[in-house]
Structure 1
Amino acid sequence: MQFYFIRHGQSTNNERWERTGSNHGRSEDPTLTKTGQKQAERLAQCLSQGAPSATVDGRDPKNLSGFGITHLYCSLMVRAVATATAIAEAVHLPLWAWKDLHETGGIFLDDPETGEPVGLPGKSRAYFEQHYPLLRLPDTVNAHGWWNRPFEERADRLPRAQCVVRDLMERHGGTPDRVAVVSHGGFCNYVMSVFFDVPRREHQWFLMNNAAITRIDFDADQTVLVYANRTDFMPDEWIT
């Protein structure tokens, strides 16, 4: 299996942080900026195109012969769904929602009086059906929103990543599948910790830019980080 972890394009929260260094005024579920939309479109173009076959030991570590994505999943956060929709349209694949791919913390805003994070509902089934008709939703997404729970505490994040990796391997391990997930920069750190058995420490960080690609190959006897945080398909001025 080849596994592609993709971060969503730039969101309005990302842009706000880069501009102000503050989360004040953040959205609980931000949309893509214009730059984020351009990033998503260029990412989709990259994933849909290939060059004449060129491999090294059969691995093709730069994807010179193309990506050949066979399965596409995304989190239910709008910035990830929008990014993944652009990919689905370009590679002509069904887009499956995977709830546990969400960003750390979930859908929340800080209480203005206490400063404590408060969980919020998230988008409803009707919202997704209207705005993202390509997205295939689980039955658990209903009229009341898909989150509807408290803020995800730090202690719950690594177990969630372990569940995602276990489910991924049950679905696709030991196959020639090429699986892409569109998820989030914070959650990527937990997934990488699980894949490579690295203790999760808060002062350590696996950086991913917006719309960047990280590829991990799973062979019979090894797990290979082929590349991380790949953004070379975008012009420098688009990288955020």
Structure 2
Amino acid sequence: MRVLLVRHGQSENNVLADKMTYDEYIATRSHEPDLTPVGEEQARRLAQFFGGAAQPDADLTERRASISEQPVTALYTSPMLRALRTTAPLAAALGLAPEVWVDIHEHGGLFTGDPRNGTAVNFSGMGRAEMQQRFPGFLLPPEVTEDGWWWNGYEEIEQCTVRARRVAETLCAWAKTRKDEVILLVTHGTFMDQLLKALIGAGEQPNFFFSHLNTGVSRVDFLEGGLIAVRYLNRAPHLPLELYTR
């Protein structure tokens, strides 16, 4: 089984974080940022890359082969808006119905305020009816209710670690029954870091971070005997350099 981890396109919060101090950022960030125009273009190029161009392109075919020699067979997405918006054109290009997987949301959950001083405010997120209306064809789990999907306040990094391990255990279980599949997850930077660490058994809080560009792709192969091979990290062959953002 092959798993492709894809970070969402550039979000409004990403832009703020790039030009502000952390204190300024935490005071102004959105609990549910949308994609920027740059993020939309990254998502469009990602979809074109995986879904194939209208005209045959030998270079595109070669670059696509460098990511995965086999086509994507299953598509999962975080329930956060920036991930859903990144997934929508990808799903259309692949002809797949994406499944929302609540456990692959970003560290922290949906909040505003400063968790360092106890002023964080929780938001429940997009409700089921709204998500179905805005993203028709997406498969929603029971955890996405009419009232939303997030009620846990600010999620500390230790809680994110536990959640990433739970996702890693699910992927390892799938590897026994979904051996020929290529599964693509549209998720988030810090969660991707935590999931990769969980998959390689890096320990509680190791002093390193797997960083990803917006729509950067990492590949993990699940081999016979429980062996896990990290084939590559943070590739973006679908983007020109001017669209590299973090």
Same fold (TM over 0.5): yes
Q: CA deviation at 1:145?
A: 1.1
Aligned to 2:42: 39
| Partner Cα separation in structure 1 for residue 234 and residue 4 of structure 2 | 11
Q: CA deviation at 1:106?
A: 0.6
What secondary structure is seen at the aligned counterpart in 2 of 1:180?
A: strand
Contact 2:111 2:121 in 1 (8 A): yes
Q: CA deviation at 1:223?
A: 1.6
What secondary structure is seen at the aligned counterpart in 2 of 1:45?
A: helix
Contact 1:213 1:231 in 2 (8 A): yes
| Partner Cα separation in structure 2 for residue 95 and residue 187 of structure 1 | 19
Aligned to 2:234: 229
Q: CA deviation at 1:167?
A: 1.5
Q: Are 1:193 and 2:193 an aligned pair?
A: no
Q: Are 1:176 and 2:169 an aligned pair?
A: no
One-letter amino acid of the counterpart of residue 231, structure 1: A
| Partner Cα separation in structure 2 for residue 189 and residue 75 of structure 1 | 15
Q: CA deviation at 1:225?
A: 1.3
One-letter amino acid of the counterpart of residue 223, structure 1: I
One-letter amino acid of the counterpart of residue 186, structure 1: T
Contact 1:85 1:134 in 2 (8 A): no
Query: Residue 225 and residue 79 in structure 1: after superposition, are their counterparts in 2 closer, same or farther (change >3 A)?
Result: same
| Partner Cα separation in structure 2 for residue 63 and residue 102 of structure 1 | 23
| Partner Cα separation in structure 1 for residue 161 and residue 37 of structure 2 | 32
Aligned to 1:85: 88
What secondary structure is seen at the aligned counterpart in 2 of 1:136?
A: coil
Which residues of structure 1 form unaligned runs of 5+? 55-59
Q: Are 1:165 and 2:168 an aligned pair?
A: yes
Root mean square deviation of aligned Cα: 2.4
Which residues of structure 2 form unaligned runs of 5+? none
| Partner Cα separation in structure 2 for residue 230 and residue 158 of structure 1 | 24
Q: Are 1:215 and 2:198 an aligned pair?
A: no
Q: CA deviation at 1:201?
A: 3.1
One-letter amino acid of the counterpart of residue 102, structure 1: H
Query: Residue 48 and residue 202 in structure 1: after superposition, are their counterparts in 2 closer, same or farther (change >3 A)?
Result: same
- Equivalent residue for 1:140, pick from 143, 152, 157: 143
Deviations 1:112-131 (A, max 9, x none): 9x553232111111221121
Contact 2:2 2:182 in 1 (8 A): yes
TM-score normalised by structure 1 residue count: 0.89
Range with greater deviation from structure 2 (189-198 or 139-148): 139-148
Contact 1:72 1:94 in 2 (8 A): yes
Deviations 1:13-44 (A, max 9, x none): 00111122441311101100000000001011
Aligned to 1:9: 9
Aligned to 1:57: none
Aligned to 2:210: 206
Contact 2:172 2:222 in 1 (8 A): no
Contact 1:120 1:149 in 2 (8 A): no
Write the mapping of 1:76-115 to structure 2, written as runs, cut at 5 A.
76-110=79-113, 114=117
| Partner Cα separation in structure 2 for residue 153 and residue 185 of structure 1 | 15
TM-score normalised by structure 2 residue count: 0.87
Query: Residue 40 and residue 200 in structure 1: after superposition, are their counterparts in 2 closer, same or farther (change >3 A)?
Result: farther
What secondary structure is seen at the aligned counterpart in 2 of 1:127?
A: helix
Q: CA deviation at 1:64?
A: 7.0
